[in-house]
Amino acid sequence: MGRERLYRLLQPDEPGIGARVFRGAHHAAVAAGIGIMLADTVDASRLAWADALDAGFWVVCSFFAAEYVARLIAAPGNPGAAQRGPWRARLDWAASVGGICDLVGVLPAVVEVVFSPSFASLFGFVWVFKLVRYAPGLASLGSVISDARQALLSVLLGFCIVLLFSATCACLLERSAQPDVFGSIPAALWWAIVTLTTTGYGDVIPETPLGRLLGGVVMISGIMVFALWAGILATGFAEETRRREFLRTWDLVSKVPFFHDIGASAIADVARLLRPREYSAGAVIMRRGEHGDCMYFVAAGEVEIRLSPEPVRLGAGQFFGEIALLTGGPRTATVVAMGPSTLLLLDVADFRELVGRQPDLARIIHEEAERRLVAAGS
């Protein structure tokens, strides 16, 4: 197996069968490793299944060690590593966050050999971090926090101000009534933290009327502070998600031959309206007689339009479903994905907007629809 093929096999977004099998085995190994770690800390489980747990531990460690070696070998297969040389590409990968995470994933085996076996199982928690590579949302969250760090730090500063102010006021109001827990500002900080975060353990509560009034104000302030944090993160995450989806759609649109000659500005306009959809082999995309509320462009894969007397197959760059949009009638055929396919969906409202914005594309779609209607009628 070549390095380029091995590199693609190990990528989290590779659609091939081999890559999906590897991802399934990888996730199963992570789940098994975490399960072994948990069971190993229970005395009854350890006594009853000691041999099985030890064997499973070494199988998981061996799998992750093999994965690390495979990723190290495949590092030069990265398209961006062509100019750096094989060993420099491997060193760069080993020093990256992903490489360090994979190396740490082998740490429990090292601890097992060097230190105590019972001590090694406690390091199994590092295996859960191997799933980060397969969770693009976490990478998006990191970008959101980085982009919104000024706003988040401003709210954090406000939180600290309210926290110190609350502890100071609680100390002044409750010191005479409860000198043990409110006798100093550092002591009152525990109550302020618990109240401001609305945790409310109940171990320290104010007794004076003014102290209880202060507690109510602090709880409301805590809700407001965390609402600000949540709002900043939610807004940033939504923007990042839209940006990533737009870039993905742009990439798909730019690869569709139908859109090759419309220019970058038009591609951006079209990409804003289209929504990518993934279909597995044999999936029914639309059925004959259904109400037509969208049309599809084939970005990758192949679909079959089941017409009489012979079905028609469409590949990348072709489109279907436009007749129902133009005529307002029901679907005239059933369409099935012949293999894993990526389609770009354009709903009826966006179709009308596209017709107004891109008359050349609208003309091509109308002409193809008329040709198909004539062919169906004959």
| Span 27-42, pLDDT tens digits | 999 999 888 888 888 8
B/e letters for 212-245, b = 16+ CB within 10 Å, e = fewer, are: eebbeebbebbeebeebeeebbeebbeebeeeee
Q: CA-CA distance, 166 to 193, in Å (whole number)? A: 9
User: What distances in angstroms separate CA 340 from CA 300, 302, 313, 315, one per listed residue?
Assistant: 8, 8, 14, 12
Using a cut of 0.75, tell me whether the model's pTM lies above it. no
**Banded model confidence at residue 264, pLDDT cuts 50, 70, 90:** low
Q: Kindly state the helix (H) or strand (E) to which residue 188 belongs, with its residue range.
A: helix 185-196
Token digits of residue 93: 């990968």
First to last CA, the chain: 52
Question: Cβ-count burial of 132 within 10 angstroms (0-12 exposed, 13-18 middle, 19+ buried)?
Answer: middle
What pLDDT is attached to residue 378?
53
Q: CA-CA distance, 56 to 50, in Å (whole number)? A: 10
Among 71, 212, 242, which residue's Cα sits nearest to residue 143? 242
Each residue's pLDDT tens digit, 161-216: 999 999 999 999 998 888 888 989 998 999 999 999 888 888 888 889 998 999 99
What is the average pLDDT value for the chain, to the nearest integer? 82
The full set of domains in the chain, from first to last, is 3-134 (1.20.120), 149-240 (1.10.287.70), 269-377 (2.60.120.10)
Q: CA-CA distance, 270 to 274, in Å (whole number)? A: 6
What pLDDT is attached to residue 115?
66
What pLDDT is attached to residue 92?
84
CA dihedral 76, 78, 80, 81 (to 10 degrees): -10
On the question of pLDDT at 118 being above 60, the answer is no
Q: Kindly state the helix (H) or strand (E) to which residue 314 belongs, with its residue range.
A: strand 312-314
DSSP codes joined into one string, 207-239: -SHHHHHHHHHHHHHHHHHHHHHHHHHHHHHHH
Q: What is the mean pLDDT of the segment spanning 69-86?
A: 79
What pLDDT is attached to residue 48?
87
Higher pLDDT pick, 12 / 116: 12
Among 133, 127, 109, 104, which residue's Cα sits nearest to residue 119? 109
Each residue's pLDDT tens digit, 267-326: 676 777 788 888 888 889 988 888 888 888 888 889 998 887 788 888 877 888 877 777
Per-residue DSSP letter, 346: E
Q: What is the mean pLDDT of the segment spanning 157-161?
A: 91
What pLDDT is attached to residue 93?
83
Is the torsion defined by CA of 134, 135, 136, 142 positive or negative?
negative
Q: CA-CA distance, 168 to 185, in Å (whole number)? A: 6
On the question of pLDDT at 64 being above 60, the answer is yes
Cis peptide upstream of residue 309 (ω within 30 degrees of 0): yes
CB contact set of 243 (below 8 Å; sequence gap of 6+): none
